[in-house]
A and B are shown apart, each in its own frame.
Chain A
Amino acid sequence: MRFLMLVIVSFFLTNNSLATQLHGGPVCSSCHGQTTARDQVTGCVVCHPGKELIFERAMSRRSGEKSFVERSYARVDSGFWDKNCTSCHLKSCRDCHGTGPVISKPNVAACQKCHKGYYTGGDYSGRAPRENNMRYQRGIAVEGETFLKMLPDVHYTAGMICSACHSMQSLVEGKKSSHVCRNCHRISSNVIEHSIPAHLEKLECYACHSAWGAQEYGTFFLRFRDLRMKVDFDLKPTSSTEYLRSAYLRKQDAPPLGINARGRVSPIRPLFISYYTDIAAARDNGPENSLLAAEWRAWFPHTIQRGSVTCEGCHDNPARFLLEPESRRIYNLQKDGMTLDSFWRQKGQRVVNGSFMSASRYQQISNKSPAYTKAYVKKWKKLLNRDDHSLRP
């Protein structure tokens, strides 16, 4: 028995990991002696000074998320944050840097423990959230979440891990990333879309190159003060026993576009168009489906591909800019008591870190100038592999 334990210990000590390479040399007390609790920060920062600043940043403080809850769900339930939002809180170095005695650099899966579902990160591996009804909860689950299989990001396919662009240092400094697209990619003007100056001046690269983006239209939190009332709601359980979550509609196609904080055209998505029903109160003729926020955010879907949508995907698609004409409206939200006219109309909604594209600006980009026509024809000729000027199939 003693021999077996020795074998196990020696296995860990000789394992080819950072723990053995970097941390196997010093005696145990170099790390553990500094603190009484095994996983606290102080044990690490003796040798890694300054890294504790990460606990002052977004992943730990989550001030953006807290502020959203303050102006939405906390208005109806002051305990909402504690009930629903505490599972993805960075508390210790070991949350990311390995499990057990092994200390390692976080791989993609380590980041996706939190960055999953509707939160950017799962999309990098080609995962989009499934519907909340149990009928749709099928297939493989990762970190307890089933997903729709999507085309993964081209960088993921090439084997790049998150830290290739999001270095530890950049996160410690409170930046979103250490690298942006143009740090690595030179823009070739041989690409038709790149030959259009306005595209390069006014668009984020990922406005075109995000192949898809998860979009949640109408996020519903249903509150059950009496848990027996859950019986008719066959929805996926959440971390809170008091709540169930659902969505009116999910999509994962080319995301809508707006203007981000840099003033550039960027993908935007609902984060969140929030509705709330207190089930017991609603059954007692109280309010239900209360719209608490109709907020969108400019974001960077991690679904990069070399290709993009076709020209009319933006230039002939007003709904993509939340300028949907009434004749093309599909979902009748008013009839279902959901306050908004349409998710794809700007009225009553806002972009918290940017703005929607104005109707006049959209009008401008949808006018077919001679330059547009020329580039458009060139693009379709290329797709059709035409080397002549005929229209023969």
Chain B
Amino acid sequence: MLLTALTIVMFSVLTMSCTLTDRNRSACVGCHSALEPASSSHTDCVVCHGGDPQARDKATSHAALRGPANPSTPEDWEEGCGRCHRYQLERVKSTIMQTNQGMIRNIQMTWDGIDNKNYTTGGGKAFDPQGKNIETEPVAQLDNLSGELYRKFCSRCHIGAVNGDSYSAAHASGCAACHFPWNDTATYQGNDKQLRGKAGHSASHAMTALPDTQVCSRCHNRSGRIAYSYQGLHDGNNGLVPTRRGEPGPELASGARNLTHISPDVHFAAGMECIDCHTSRDIMGDGFQYRNMFLQTEIACQDCHGSGRDLPRYRQITRENDEALRESRSYKRSATSGMRMIQTAKGRSYSNVFYQDGTIWLQGKRSGKLHKSKVITATPEHTIAGHERMECYSCHSHTVVQCYGCHTRYDKGKNGMDFIKGEETPGAFSESEDYRTLYPFPLALNQRGRISPVTPGCQTFVTVAEKDGSLSKSEYITRFKRSQQLRFAPFYSHNSTRKAIGCAECHGNPAFLGFGQHIVEGTSITGTLICEQSARKPLDGFLTMNNGTVRAYSAITRENSRPLSGVEVKRALAVNLCLPCHNRAADPIYRKGVNQRALSDARHRQLLSDK
């Protein structure tokens, strides 16, 4: 008995526990009496934050705080969140949002920065997708222009580093980047009087187990801008109009950009949020370190909607340690044993998508709303011969944001903030741009060998000003795959639509094949928006056709991806010979390849003859 009592006393002294309801014993609560509990299971200040709850002055009690305000920051997350959430922490350490390995690698590949080493934000040991040990270098050691670009531009959206000063794009570092959302001005607006109005804090001390779309939008609003396209927002030409209450408008975003409204993604319109499709493994990782985002992502449209050939797959929950049971604990409706959970493209269970009574249902993780998923397998429109290698979003993208001509200047005479090193160093970047558009958009082969929308990624023209102001590079086009060329990247814009682009619209408009805006004359297709550095090459495309010869002059980034070949281009254009009569995708002739014999009848001979 005595031993038990002693143990309890010892334990209390050691942990110096302090809950927000423990008013008498805690110095924390003395000052932060109205601070919201992080959650019903996260009520003990010291377990997460550390510090000394017995000390009576602020300096002493705060001296050993982790973070100091954010115990989930990478410097402290082992002792902060990691003490209880080891499984999640080990995954997050190697997730692409933390390592940024793909971003760094792509910049290296496209900015003359390849040095045969692999870099991540912090470097270190990890496991590759095959489970083998790998080691990467910290990006602070990437001593060239591509390293500079990452550290001074792109690294702002790395979840390992805080961004406290970008309007509408501010976020904490570590776990809190997603689970303690910041508002547009990075200001605490909760009940605690000590903190209210202070910048550099989450909007509330209440944790969100399930981050909403706004949380994702704080980072995914540049480059591909998928969070904007998804919500029906567009940062277009930055015309700053129409105004809103006399200020630039109608919505404002980081970097003095304005957002106008476009048609949102069909899933957003139905009330779905980012996390309703994206699994926690997509976002927080699965413990393996992937080279690129598209290798970590485990979901695909076909998971819920089926492909032309295959129905969606499901697996029943039979084990009590099934991931879906654990993951769905915070949903309105938790998954239960026996449910048939739909499988991701990597063959893992969704925790919110299930098969029941012949129907696939998706549960909004935050809303609890059930969405019925339409399965397209074996429908005539989705079994067109030749379309089996189309990505769903080649036809079902309403828009694809495209930024043409990215002119980047690096001034060695100016200082720029290095967000990885945390200090200003010589060299500052600035950007200007040529043109943006949403539609039409070009298609090419992606890394899976499938036909996908592509967007400039990037059309970088580099100017380097030396300290004396002289230009050592002027509008320089970097080398990619051994030659100086511009690049497009396979891309899903997240602005999908129920109604697909029409057959004639796509096959009849060579812009979709990569010719840009153009005119057709005889056997030539000529671009009308021209790259400044050439006489005839389009800026908004990557193909030309001159007297019947198709030539590609831009690369598609990623392994095995490429523009369509001349034969493929002509095959796609040849469909126009059928389309004026066979204008419905459901027309049975499109179920199989071309039957040359059927074309020998009088009707076709008459149509296809030149007389």
**Chain A interfacial positions (CB closer than 8 Å to B):** 126, 128, 130-133, 135-139, 148-151, 211-212, 218, 220, 222, 229, 232-235, 246-254, 275, 277, 279-285, 288-289, 303, 305-313, 316-317, 327-332, 335-338, 368, 372-374, 376-378, 380-385, 389-393
Which of chain A's residues have a CB closer than 8 A to the CB of B238? 131, 133, 135-136
Docked complex Cα distance between A143 and B567 (Å) = 45
- Known A-B contacts A136-B433, A391-B578; A307 and B261 likewise in contact (beta carbons under 8 Å): no
Q: Residues of A contacting B573 with CB < 8 Å?
A: 380, 383-384
B432-A330 in contact (CB<8A):
no
The answer to the question of B54 belonging to the interface, with a C-beta cut-off of 8 Å to chain A, is no
Q: Assuming A220-B241, A308-B521, A336-B260, what are 19 further A-B pairs, CB within 8 angstroms?
A: A126-B530, A133-B238, A135-B433, A136-B433, A138-B434, A149-B529, A150-B529, A151-B528, A218-B241, A222-B243, A248-B239, A249-B236, A283-B246, A288-B245, A303-B528, A309-B520, A310-B520, A313-B508, A378-B610
The interface stretch among B37-45, B203-211, B599-607 is B599-607
Interface centre among B242, B438, B610 (most CB of A within 10 A): B242
A222/B241 in contact, CB under 8 A: yes
Q: List 8 A-B contacts (CB under 8 A).
A: A148-B434, A220-B239, A232-B240, A277-B241, A285-B245, A328-B499, A330-B438, A331-B234
* Chain B interface residue number, banded: 35 or more
A308 B248 Cβ-Cβ under 8 A: no
Which residues of the other chain, B, contact A337 by a CB distance below 8 angstroms?
242, 250
B523 x A382 contact (CB < 8 A): yes
Residues from chain A with a CB closer than 8 A to the CB of B249 are 336
B237–A247 touching, CB < 8 Å: yes
Distance (whole angstroms) from the CB of B314 to the closest CB of chain A: 32
B residues neighboring A (CB under 8 Å): 232, 234, 236-250, 256, 260-263, 398-399, 407, 431-435, 437-439, 497, 499, 502, 504-505, 508-510, 517, 519-532, 539, 548, 567-568, 570-571, 573-574, 576-578, 580-581, 583, 594, 596, 599, 604-605, 607-610
Q: Is the CB of B519 within 8 A of A307?
A: yes
CA distance A233 to B241 in the complex (A): 10
Query: Are B578 and A149 in contact, with the CB atoms below 8 A?
Result: no
Q: How far is the CA of A317 from the CA of B260 in the complex (A)?
A: 25
Task: Check A133–B262 contact: CB distance below 8 A.
Answer: no
Inter-chain contact B609/A389, CB cutoff 8 Å: yes
Of B240, B432, B439, B528, which contacts A212 at CB under 8 A?
A: B528
Docked-complex contact A380 and B239, CB < 8 angstroms: no
Residue of A130, A233, A329, A389 touching B240 (CB-CB under 8 A): A233
* CB pair B580 A368 closer than 8 Å: yes
Residues of B within 8 A of A279 (CB): 243, 246
Contact check, B517 vs A332: say whether CB atoms are below 8 A apart.
Answer: no
**Bound form: Cα–Cα A311–B238 in Å:** 34
Q: How far is the CB of A52 from chain B (nearest CB, A)?
A: 40
Is A233 in contact with B248, judged by CB distance below 8 angstroms? Answer: yes
Question: Is A381 within 8 A of B608, CB to CB?
Answer: yes
Residue of A139, A248, A380 touching B532 (CB-CB under 8 A): A139
A332 touches B509 (CB 8 A): no
Residues of B within 8 A of A284 (CB): 246
- Give chain A residues whose Cβ lies under 8 Å from the Cβ of B609: 389
- Nearest opposing residue in chain A for B259, CB measure: A336
Q: How far is the CA of A337 from the CA of B528 in the complex (A)?
A: 33
- A234 with B256: in contact, given A283-B246, A313-B509 (CB under 8 Å)? yes
In the complex the two chains form, is A149's CB within 8 Å of B531's CB? yes
Q: How far apart are the CA atoms of A253 and B517 in the complex, in Å?
A: 6
* Nearest B residue (CB) for A374: B607
A310 to B434, alpha carbons, bound, how many Å?
A: 27
Which of A337, A338, A382, A391 is packed against the most chain B CB atoms within 10 Å?
A: A391
Find out whether the CB atom of A252 lies under 8 angstroms from the CB atom of B529: yes
Report the minimum CB–CB distance from A353 to chain B (whole Å). 25
Task: Identify the closest chain B residue to A229 (Cβ).
Answer: B246
- Report Cα–Cα, A340/B306, bound state, in Å: 39
Q: Which A residues touch B262, using CB under 8 A?
A: 330-332
Pairwise interchain contact B605-A288, C-beta atoms closer than 8 A: no
Q: What is the bound-complex CA distance between A335 and B259, given in angstroms?
A: 12
The residue among A128, A220, A247, A380 with the most chain B CB atoms within 10 A of its own CB is: A380
**Nearest-CB residue, chain B, relative to A381:** B577
Q: How far is the CA of A148 from the CA of B583 in the complex (A)?
A: 37
In this complex, the member of B241, B504, B581, B599 whose beta carbon has the largest number of chain A beta carbons within 10 angstroms is B241
A377 lies within 8 A of B608 (CB): yes
* Cα–Cα, bound, A286→B243 (Å): 12
Q: Which of B525, B528, B599, B605 contacts A253 (CB 8 A)?
A: B528
B261 partner residues in chain A, CB cutoff 8 A: 331-332, 335-336
CB distance from A152 to the nearest CB of B (A): 9
> Which among A126, A275, A288 has the greatest number of chain B C-beta atoms within 10 A?
A288
Which of B242, B432, B521, B531 meets A135, CB within 8 Å? B432
A132 touches B239 (CB 8 A): yes
A312 to B520, CA, bound (A): 12
Q: Are A288 and B246 in contact (CB under 8 A)?
A: yes
CA distance in complex: A305, B528 (Å): 10
Q: How far is the CA of A316 from the CA of B246 in the complex (A)?
A: 41
Q: For residue B524, which residues in chain A have a CB less than 8 angstroms away from its CB?
A: 307
Asked, given contacts A372-B580, A393-B574, whether A136 binds B434 with beta carbons under 8 Å apart, the answer is yes
Given contacts A233-B240, A377-B580, A384-B573, contact A137 B530 (CB under 8 A): no
- Flag if B532 contacts A149 (CB, 8 Å): yes
Alpha-carbon distance between A289 and B398 when the two chains are bound, in angstroms: 27
Contacts of A311 in B (CB 8 A): 508
Docked-complex contact A277 and B532, CB < 8 angstroms: no
B contact residues around A392 at 8 Å (CB): 594, 596
Residues of chain B with a CB closer than 8 A to A383's CB:
520, 522-523, 525, 573
Closest Cβ of chain A: how far from B521's Cβ, in Å? 3
Q: Which residue of B lies closest to A279 (CB)?
A: B246
A283 contact set on B, CB distance < 8 A: 245-247
Quick one: which of B234, B250, B432, B567 has the most chain A CB within 10 A? Answer: B432
B241 touches A305 (CB 8 A): no
Q: Determine the residue in chain A with the shortest Cβ distance to B431.
A: A135
Identify which of B241, B439, B502, B567 contacts A248 (C-beta below 8 A). Answer: B241
> Complex: how many Å from CA A246 to CA B239?
6
State in angstroms the CA–CA spacing of A60 and B484 once bound together.
Answer: 50
Q: Could you tell me if A275 and B241 are in contact, using CB atoms closer than 8 angstroms?
A: yes
Given contacts A131-B237, A327-B499, contact A308 B519 (CB under 8 A): yes
A276 to chain B, nearest CB (A): 10
CB pair A247 B263 closer than 8 Å: no
B605 to chain A, nearest CB (A): 6
Q: A248-B260, A383-B522 are in contact. Are A151 and B527 (CB under 8 A)?
A: yes
Query: Complex Cα distance A247/B260, Å?
Result: 12
Please, how many angstroms separate the alpha-carbon atoms of A369 and B248 in the complex?
A: 50
Query: Chain A: which residue is nearest B248 at the CB level?
Result: A232
Task: List, in ascending order, chain B residues with CB within 8 A of A317's CB.
Answer: 505
Residues of A within 8 A of B577 (CB): 377, 380-381, 384, 391
- Give CA–CA (A248, B250) in the complex, Å: 11
- CB-based contact B567/A332 at 8 Å: no
A305-B521, A310-B508, A331-B262 known; A250+B237 contact, CB < 8 A:
yes
CB < 8 Å neighbour of B242 from A248, A306, A310, A389: A248
- Residues from chain B with Cβ under 8 Å of A328 in the complex: 499
Across the interface, which residues of B come within 8 angstroms of A309, CB to CB? 519-520
Q: Give the residue of A211, A275, A285 whose beta carbon is less than 8 angstroms from that of B519.
A: A211
| Those 10 A-B pairs whose CB atoms lie nearest each other, nearest first | A307-B521, A282-B246, A389-B608, A283-B246, A312-B508, A307-B519, A138-B432, A289-B242, A133-B238, A393-B571
Contact indicator A380/B433 (Cβ below 8 Å): no
Q: How far is the CA of A389 from the CA of B607 in the complex (A)?
A: 9
**A307 and B246 form a contact (CB under 8 A):** no
